[in-house]
Amino acid sequence: MKKILFASILALSLFSCSENKSQHAPVVENAVDNAESSVSGAIKKNTRYSSREGNLVQEIYLELIKNDKTLQDLDLRIENIQKETETSISEYDDIIGKSETYYNDATALSNSVTDSITKKQIEKEIKASAEKYDVKTQTIRDLIAKIKANRTTLHDQYLVFKIRKTLPEIEKYQKAHPLKTDSLNQFINKQNKLLEELKNLK
Over the stretch 167-186, which tens digit does the pLDDT of each residue have?
999 999 999 999 999 999 99
Over the stretch 150-165, which tens digit does the pLDDT of each residue have?
999 999 999 999 999 9
The pTM for the full model equals: 0.66
Q: What does each C-alpha distance from 160 to 55, 61, 92, 164 come to in angstroms?
A: 14, 12, 31, 6
Q: What's the pLDDT score for residue 92?
A: 95
Cα 119 from chain centre = 54
Over the stretch 23-77, which tens digit does the pLDDT of each residue have?
443 445 666 677 665 544 443 444 444 444 579 999 999 999 999 999 999 999 9
3-state SS of 49-73 is: HHHHCCCHHHHHHHHHHCCCHHHHH
Over the stretch 86-140, which tens digit does the pLDDT of each residue have?
999 999 999 999 999 999 999 999 999 999 999 999 999 999 999 999 999 999 9
Asked whether 176 and 33 are in contact (CB, 8 A), the reply is yes
> Which phi and psi (to 5°) does residue 12 adopt?
-65, -40
Residue 35, burial from CB neighbour count under 10 angstroms (0-12, 13-18, 19+): buried
Single-letter code of the amino acid located at 91:
E
